[in-house]
């Protein structure tokens, strides 16, 4: 009987030791999980505070269509109201004679497959990135180029306009 009591006490001691170790391990896991949950809550809180002005996408797409869909040269009046005077200075238009040559040679430009992405923003600024295919036809030869625009847009009098343009093709 003493032997069986000793065996039972020994088994009980082993079980208690095992449970104590398990308890410490679970407490460590719990504190690690709580730290991760706190970190995730901070991330979500910061993400909710980030600003994105989705309404700028339409203006950016309108600009790409207005400026890159043309015959011979882009037309300045097509982008009026979409860009600031500063941004307009960096654009080329029909009156600058950039396509000197025969009047019969026609250049056609068109746009397809526009994708809009949003960059950094504040309350009155939004960075917009646009990826599109620019098709140019000249002398019955058509070329298609992947084109990228980075537009810095600002809010003026409750309207969004393009203030700076970076173009890569």
Q: How confident is the model over 114-142, as pLDDT tens digits?
A: 999 999 888 899 999 999 999 999 888 88
What was the pLDDT predicted at 151? 94
If one counts every other C-beta atom within 10 angstroms of the C-beta of residue 70, the result is 16
Boundaries of every domain in the chain: 1-49, 56-168
Nearest of 64, 169, 68 to residue 110 by alpha carbon: 68
What's the token pair of residue 54? 């989705």
> Contact at 8 Å (CB) between 162 and 152?
yes
What's the token pair of residue 167? 């173009």
What was the pLDDT predicted at 62? 92
Mean of pLDDT over the chain: 86
CA distance 11 to 74: 89
Integer Rg of the chain from CA: 32
What's the token pair of residue 121? 């923003």
Q: How confident is the model over 135-155, as pLDDT tens digits?
A: 999 888 889 889 999 999 999
Q: How confident is the model over 52-111, as pLDDT tens digits?
A: 889 999 999 999 999 998 888 888 888 888 998 888 888 888 765 545 455 567 889 999
- CATH for the 56-168 domain, from 3.10.450.540, 3.30.465.10, 3.10.150.10, 3.40.50.920: 3.10.450.540
């Amino acid at each position: 009987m003493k032997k069986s009591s000793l065996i039972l006490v020994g088994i009980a001691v082993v079980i208690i030791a095992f449970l104590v170790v398990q308890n410490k391990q679970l407490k460590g896991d719990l504190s690690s999980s709580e730290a991760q949950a706190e970190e995730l809550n901070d991330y979500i809180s910061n993400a909710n505070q980030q600003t994105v002005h989705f309404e700028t996408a339409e203006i950016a797409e309108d600009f790409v269509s207005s400026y890159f869909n043309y015959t011979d040269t882009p037309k300045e009046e097509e982008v009026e109201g979409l860009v600031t005077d500063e941004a307009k200075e960096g654009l080329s238009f029909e009156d600058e004679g950039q396509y000197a040559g025969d009047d019969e040679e026609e250049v056609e430009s068109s746009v397809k497959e526009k994708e809009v992405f949003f960059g950094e923003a504040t309350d009155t600024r939004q960075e917009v990135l646009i990826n599109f295919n620019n098709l140019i036809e000249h002398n019955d030869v058509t070329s298609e180029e992947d084109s990228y625009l980075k537009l810095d847009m600002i809010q003026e009098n409750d309207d969004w306009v393009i203030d700076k343009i970076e173009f890569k093709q």
